[in-house]
Structure 1
Amino acid sequence: MAGRQRVLALLIQRYRLPREAIRQLLGAIRQDLRRATRRSFALTPQVQPLAALRFYATGSFLQVVGDGQGLCKASVCRSFQAVTYSLLRLVPRHVRFHSRDEMGATQENLFRSFHIPQVAGVVDGTLIPILTPHVDGHVYICRKGYAAVNCQVVCDHQGIILDVVARWPGSTHDSFVFLANPGDVHEEQYNEAHRLARCIVERTIERWKLRFRCLHTSGGGLQFAPAKSCAVICMTAMFHNIAAKAGVALGEPDEDEEESFEFGLESR
């Protein structure tokens, strides 16, 4: 039993998702990943998602991911692309606003904790580093000096991501992405309650990035064009929700991840 638990723990450490969740995701895209021929030893539908999940989890160089999986860099790259776009259609199932009943629970919790009525979610923006695009690259340079996507995130009181908007260049100001709430006669009290409630989404974003290091600056960011980067952002939001609902705790990074952090924002 102890050996089985260790295997499951290692599985989560490497791929960030429990075994059953990986099986379900694989079942949903198996036909998309199946090759029509075995020519050139095409990778099986079982291997491709694991290679892609390893990249999402670590943000390591594709060559490093391939070495850990026993694959060449080209195979990892093809697997990553195929899995990402196959799973992208599943995102609306897992990243969505709550039903009326579920929303009531969120509103009740946020009102009880922060005394703000009728709140369906908490919103904030975050910068996801990407490879500087060849076209209009300057538009993506954020206030911190690197190319990024300005991503808007909405979560509930439990840290489940309800909505993610990943399409705005890094230079876009948050006020353009979403309209600020106007002040009222109790502005100071409101602002303090708003500040405290906002911590929920800030913690959610932090856990999301720590769980999937490909989004984090320490992992080097997403060294892809904006469209592919936005697809990965949405994908990892879905994975975060699956992991959070399954009660998967954030673990310590393994050796591959720690090695990849040393490279910062250098290009892959």
Structure 2
Amino acid sequence: MLPVDILRNFHLNNLERREHIRIYNMERRIMRDNSDPFALRDEQFIGLFRLSKEMVQYVYNEISPHLNQTENVIAIPNLLKLLVALRFFASGSYQSCIGQSYNLSVSQPTVSNIIKEVSLAISELSRNWVKFPRTAEEKNRIKGRFMSQTHFPGTVGAIDCTHIAIITPQDEEHNYLNRKGFHSKNIQIICDYDLKILNVNATHAGATHDSFIWRHSIIQEELERWYNLGDRNSWLVGDSGYPQQCYLMTPIIDAAPGTPEFAYTQAQMRARNCIERCIGVLKGTFRCLMAERKLRYQPQKVGHIVIACSVLHNIRMSGHQNLEEILLPENHNNFDYFNNHIDVGGMQARADLIERYFN
């Protein structure tokens, strides 16, 4: 074959390929524009997007001003952007699978861009939806729930960390390699007894220990400020990886059965159980956060996704959606680690608590 014939065939094949892509995109856009996910049955809609139709409409109204606006007739509508992101959060499937979904139908690169844009917009809602108690009324309400359900006094939240798997980051890779041998971000979460997330810290790499994240968190500073202002009856509950402090109660390892210390530890464990359930429900609902899914974004974007899912979790909680259908993942953070730091004031605060309530 002559070179001119080769060039002609290459040109014809290229034109044919471009025409095929054009027709495919046009068909996909027609299918997308003619589909109406809101026509799905309520149960099916919630199964796909995790939120009710009313909740999705609320989130859309809140984030719409923060999404990119365009008059381009072939641009992705903002409501569809939200549904694409919600479907990814819910399933954790690869982006190409989300894009080819029968009622979404967008390309994989578009899905990736949508997830970044929508995650950032939803994470901005955390100011209103993920809030640590500030007033005496808010603190007393949370304390009352813990006391009535677990018989552990003074508790304004339960704290723990969980690892969110990520692809190998481009920068400071070694800082993200955790003790389990995979790259992750270590996320600190605080919740109340009813599994509402009160605070989420998504800034730290996977190699960072829970106690370090706590000591450098704004909530530690806030509780210390409360204590210094005279509030000596408000604390979090955490596991033995955390330091015992005046405002953070931890269990007593190997407390002898029948002793006040044992009674204290049993009640403390009951109070702390809610954070394990909260993390399980969060990951079970938004499966993109589960380890086997591995978020394919750089750390900062992963932080936005985690915060966005926390906001959506609390919105679900506000609507009292049934959480029993969610399968809890396996133990999320099973390091055999005990914090050896001795805080004399914290030890005395725990001894005083045991004397008052568990003798």
TM over 0.5: same fold? yes
Give the match's secondary structure for 1:248. coil
CA–CA distance in 2 between the matches of 1:163 and 1:190? 25
CA–CA distance in 2 between the matches of 1:153 and 1:175? 13
Deviates further, 182-191 or 164-173: 182-191
CA–CA distance in 2 between the matches of 1:203 and 1:176? 23
Q: Which amino acid in 2 is paired with 1:176?
A: F
How many residues get paired? 248
Q: Which amino acid in 1 is paired with 2:86?
A: L
Aligned-residue CA RMSD (Å)? 2.2
Q: Report the CA distance between 1:137 and its aligned residue.
A: 0.8
Residue 19, structure 1, aligned to residue 53, structure 2: yes
Q: Report the CA distance between 1:246 and its aligned residue.
A: 0.8
Task: State which of 90, 109, 117 in structure 2 corresponds to 1:57.
Answer: 90
Task: State which of 170, 180, 193 in structure 1 corresponds to 2:243.
Answer: 180
Residue 114, structure 1, aligned to residue 150, structure 2: yes
Q: Which amino acid in 2 is paired with 1:171?
A: A
Q: Report the CA distance between 1:223 and its aligned residue.
A: 1.5
Report Cα offsets for 1:34-81 as digits up to 9, x if no partner: 533316x11111111000111111111000000002111122112112
Structure 1 residue aligned with 2:34: none
Report Cα offsets for 1:123-142 as digits up to 9, x if no partner: 11111111121211111111
Q: Which amino acid in 1 is paired with 2:299?
A: P
Structure 2 residue aligned with 1:242: 315
CA–CA distance in 2 between the matches of 1:239 and 1:72? 25
Q: Which amino acid in 2 is paired with 1:138?
A: H
Structure 1 residue aligned with 2:186: 150
After TM superposition, the structure 1 = structure 2 runs for residues 89-100 of structure 1, keeping only pairs within 5 Å, are 89-98=124-133, 99-100=135-136
Give the match's secondary structure for 1:175. helix
Deviates further, 90-99 or 204-213: 90-99
CA–CA distance in 1 between the matches of 2:320 and 2:94? 28
Structure 2 residue aligned with 1:202: 276
CA–CA distance in 2 between the matches of 1:122 and 1:30? 33
Q: Report the CA distance between 1:234 and its aligned residue.
A: 0.6
Give the match's secondary structure for 1:149. strand
Report Cα offsets for 1:100-151 as digits up to 9, x if no partner: 3232122122123333321111111111111121211111111111111111
Give the match's secondary structure for 2:179. coil
Q: Report the CA distance between 1:211 and its aligned residue.
A: 0.3
Q: Does the 8 A contact of 1:35 with 1:42 survive in 2? A: no
Q: Which amino acid in 2 is paired with 1:50?
A: L
Q: Report the CA distance between 1:252 and its aligned residue.
A: 6.2
CA–CA distance in 1 between the matches of 2:287 and 2:146? 29
Give the match's secondary structure for 2:295. coil
CA–CA distance in 2 between the matches of 1:129 and 1:186? 40
Deviates further, 112-121 or 12-21: 112-121
Structure 2 residue aligned with 1:262: none
Q: Does the 8 A contact of 2:123 with 2:311 survive in 1? A: no
TM-score using structure 2 length:
0.65
CA–CA distance in 2 between the matches of 1:155 and 1:251? 18
TM-score using structure 1 length:
0.85
Q: Report the CA distance between 1:251 and its aligned residue.
A: 7.5
Q: Judging changes above 3 Å, is the alpha-carbon distance between structure 1 residues 55 and 82 closer, same or farther for their aligned structure 2 residues?
A: same
Task: State which of 299, 304, 315 in structure 2 corresponds to 1:231.
Answer: 304
Structure 1 residue aligned with 2:173: 137
For CA contacts below 8 A with separation 6 or more, give which structure has more relative contact order.
Answer: 1
